[in-house]
């Protein structure tokens, strides 16, 4: 499969690239500075996009691809607001090139609280984190609204706290919700989940919560 991966130099992005290459996909990794990209391999093309919301340039990155994956997102509170315009540019480029499948990273607090959620998560941890990172989550909500108004077959993958852990290959998922007691997941398994959903029509135009 021919894939384009945005945010390829980030921690989830590098996992997406390396796992996709290992699975035999042809990968276009979109980065701001191609010379600094650390990954190599057969089937990899590194595509430079110094201005990340340049729609005309991004059209070249997505043209003819079967799916697009994005690891873009705020790394800290000061990055709040970056995700929506960058994703909007990706959506516009994909629509211009008639590429339909898009998977992005969002966040678990955007989803509904499971009915039987533990008290400490439902009443303490999640509200506290949501308040501290309000700007980030507002950005991700706006991003998801952009997806919903598009004509793409999108999936928004919503992990809780992200860890730098080796790939486990086992995690829970919930379409239109969050798994119960979802507190963390490794970035490697978020990437694995995204790749596994590419061909799953049950996830088209839905958010999916993922967690250990």
Distance, CA of 208 to CA of 155 (rounded, Å): 7
Number of H helices, E strands in the chain: 7, 10
pLDDT in tens, the chain (212 residues): 999 999 999 999 999 999 999 999 999 999 999 999 999 999 999 999 887 789 999 999 999 999 999 999 877 677 777 899 999 999 999 999 999 999 999 999 999 999 899 888 888 988 888 898 898 999 999 999 999 999 999 999 999 999 999 999 999 999 999 999 999 999 999 999 999 999 999 999 999 999 99
Number of domains in the chain: 1
Q: Tell me, what's the pLDDT at 125?
A: 87
**Domain of residue 189, residue span:** 2-211
* Contact assessment for residue 208 and residue 175, using Cβ atoms and an 8 Å cutoff: yes
Task: Report the DSSP beta bridge partners of residue 68.
Answer: 4, 102
> CB neighbours of 138 closer than 8 A, spacing ≥ 6?
80
Q: What is the domain-level CATH number for residue 82?
A: 3.40.50.720
Q: Tell me, what's the pLDDT at 210?
A: 98
Distance, CA of 68 to CA of 154 (rounded, Å): 9
Distance, CA of 128 to CA of 42 (rounded, Å): 45
Q: Tell me, what's the pLDDT at 76?
A: 66
Which secondary-structure segment (H or E) carries 60? helix 55-62
Q: Tell me, what's the pLDDT at 209?
A: 98
pTM metric for this prediction = 0.94
């Amino acid at each position: 499969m021919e894939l384009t991966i945005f945010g390829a130099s980030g921690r989830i992005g590098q996992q997406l690239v390396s796992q996709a290459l290992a699975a035999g996909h042809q990968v276009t990794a979109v980065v701001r500075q191609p010379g600094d990209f650390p990954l190599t391999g057969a089937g990899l093309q590194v595509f430079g996009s110094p201005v990340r919301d340049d729609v005309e340039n991004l059209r070249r990155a997505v043209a003819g691809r079967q799916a697009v994956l994005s690891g873009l997102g705020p790394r800290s509170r000061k990055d709040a607001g970056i995700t929506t315009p960058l994703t909007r540019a990706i959506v516009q480029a994909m629509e211009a090139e008639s590429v339909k499948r898009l998977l992005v990273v969002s966040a678990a607090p955007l989803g509904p609280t499971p009915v039987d959620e533990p008290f400490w998560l439902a009443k303490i941890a999640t509200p506290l984190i949501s308040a501290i990172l309000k700007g980030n989550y507002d950005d991700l909500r706006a991003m998801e609204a952009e997806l919903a108004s598009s004509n793409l077959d999108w999936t928004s993958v919503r992990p809780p706290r992200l860890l730098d852990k080796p790939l486990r290959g086992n995690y829970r998922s919930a379409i239109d919700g969050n798994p119960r007691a979802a507190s963390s997941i490794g970035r490697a398994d978020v990437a694995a989940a995204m790749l596994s959903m590419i061909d799953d029509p049950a996830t088209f135009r839905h958010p999916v919560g993922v967690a250990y």
